[in-house]
């Protein structure tokens, strides 16, 4: 089992080309697994974690409702945003500058074969990271992602999750609001959930700007511990 995860920080990259790159890595791993099975080989499958920041974009998961996007095509254009229907789980979400997006493309057979455990580990890595900033976060029953003030009228989401998996290979991932312009969330019903707010690390800490590289390093540290993995560049 290969427990090394190749860490790639793509910087700022548009959603479509990043999605295509994810699909390419995903397909290579799946194809290698099929080859191993057919030819009775034991070639190691690689694992990746992509960090990226996207220009303004709204994405709708395969089970999502288009009505949760509150903008038409012209309004999207006026806001400098794009829109894509994609093949992850979940409903609609927003990505944009100041948000840390992480795409783990892992062969879970290198770690464990449990999608629920995988999702909980991604959430836990974010929860532990935010705890380092003094924030008490948690999960909201029946709703993926990481929340503050769960079970109160002030519940607000700080990190969204949406993944796809096939043959135990994962893609898509998490989006943590760090220094993001929260106004862009007003144009959707985030994740199809009404009546709950969205927040960011910057807002919660009441600071001008949070060091995003520092946040990424903390996320990697906690993923390393949870997955018992080694990150390599």
* Residue-wise pLDDT tens digits, 86-120: 888 778 889 999 999 999 999 999 999 999 999 99
Asked if residue 184 belongs to a known ligand binding site, the reply is: no
Asked if residue 108 belongs to a known ligand binding site, the reply is: no
Work out the average pLDDT over 218-224.
Answer: 98
- 159 noted as active-site residue: no
**How sure is the predictor about 213, in pLDDT bands with cuts at 50, 70 and 90?**
very high
Asked if residue 90 belongs to a known ligand binding site, the reply is: yes
Selecting among 100, 106, 176, 191, the annotated active-site residue is 191
**How sure is the predictor about 190, in pLDDT bands with cuts at 50, 70 and 90?**
low
Mean pLDDT of the chain, nearest integer = 93
Asked if residue 80 belongs to a known ligand binding site, the reply is: no
**How sure is the predictor about 161, in pLDDT bands with cuts at 50, 70 and 90?**
very high
202 vs 197, residue with greater confidence? 202
Asked if residue 142 belongs to a known ligand binding site, the reply is: no
193 vs 11, residue with greater confidence? 11
The Cα 9–Cα 52 span in angstroms is: 6
Q: What's the confidence (pLDDT) of residue 195? A: 55
Work out the average pLDDT over 116-145.
Answer: 94
Q: What's the confidence (pLDDT) of residue 21? A: 98
- List, edge to edge, every strand of the sheet that includes 57-60: 82-85, 57-60, 92-95
Is 60 exceeded by the pLDDT of residue 193?
Answer: no
**How sure is the predictor about 33, in pLDDT bands with cuts at 50, 70 and 90?**
very high
Asked if residue 155 belongs to a known ligand binding site, the reply is: no
Q: What's the confidence (pLDDT) of residue 191? A: 53
91 vs 167, residue with greater confidence? 167
Residue 49 tokens, joined? 């974690």
| pLDDT tens sequence across 42-80 | 999 999 999 999 999 999 888 788 888 999 889 999 999
The Cα 96–Cα 182 span in angstroms is: 10
Q: What's the confidence (pLDDT) of residue 27? A: 98
Asked if residue 64 belongs to a known ligand binding site, the reply is: no
| pLDDT tens sequence across 115-128 | 999 999 999 999 99
Q: What's the confidence (pLDDT) of residue 30? A: 97
62 vs 16, residue with greater confidence? 16
Percent of the chain with pLDDT over 90: 79
Asked if residue 93 belongs to a known ligand binding site, the reply is: yes
Domains defined along the chain, listed by start: 4-232 (3.30.930.10)
Q: Name the residue among 95, 162, 153 with its Cα closest to residue 122.
A: 162
Asked if residue 229 belongs to a known ligand binding site, the reply is: no
Could you tell me if 232 and 48 are in contact, meaning their C-beta atoms sit under 8 angstroms apart? no
């Amino acid at each position: 089992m290969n427990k090394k995860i190749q860490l790639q920080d793509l910087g700022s990259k548009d959603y479509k080309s990043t999605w295509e790159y994810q699909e390419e890595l995903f397909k290579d791993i799946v194809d290698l697994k099929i080859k191993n099975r057919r030819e009775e080989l034991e070639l190691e499958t690689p694992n990746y974690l992509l960090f990226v920041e996207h220009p303004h974009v709204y994405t709708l998961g395969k089970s999502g409702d288009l009505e949760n996007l509150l903008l038409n095509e012209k309004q999207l254009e006026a806001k400098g945003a794009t829109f894509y229907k994609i093949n992850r789980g979940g409903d609609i979400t927003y990505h944009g500058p100041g948000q840390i997006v992480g795409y783990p493309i892992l062969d879970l057979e290198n770690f464990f074969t449990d999608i629920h455990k995988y999702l909980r580990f991604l959430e836990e890595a974010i929860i532990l990271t935010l705890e380092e900033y003094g924030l008490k976060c948690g999960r909201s029953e029946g709703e993926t992602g990481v929340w503050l003030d769960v079970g109160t009228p002030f519940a607000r989401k700080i990190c969204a999750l949406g993944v796809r998996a096939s043959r135990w290979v994962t893609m898509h991932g998490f989006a943590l609001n760090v220094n993001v312009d929260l106004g862009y969330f007003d144009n959707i019903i985030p994740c199809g959930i009404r009546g709950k707010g969205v927040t960011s690390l910057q807002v919660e800490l009441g600071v001008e700007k949070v060091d995003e590289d520092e946040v990424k390093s903390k996320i990697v540290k906690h993923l390393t511990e949870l997955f018992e993995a080694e990150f390599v560049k």
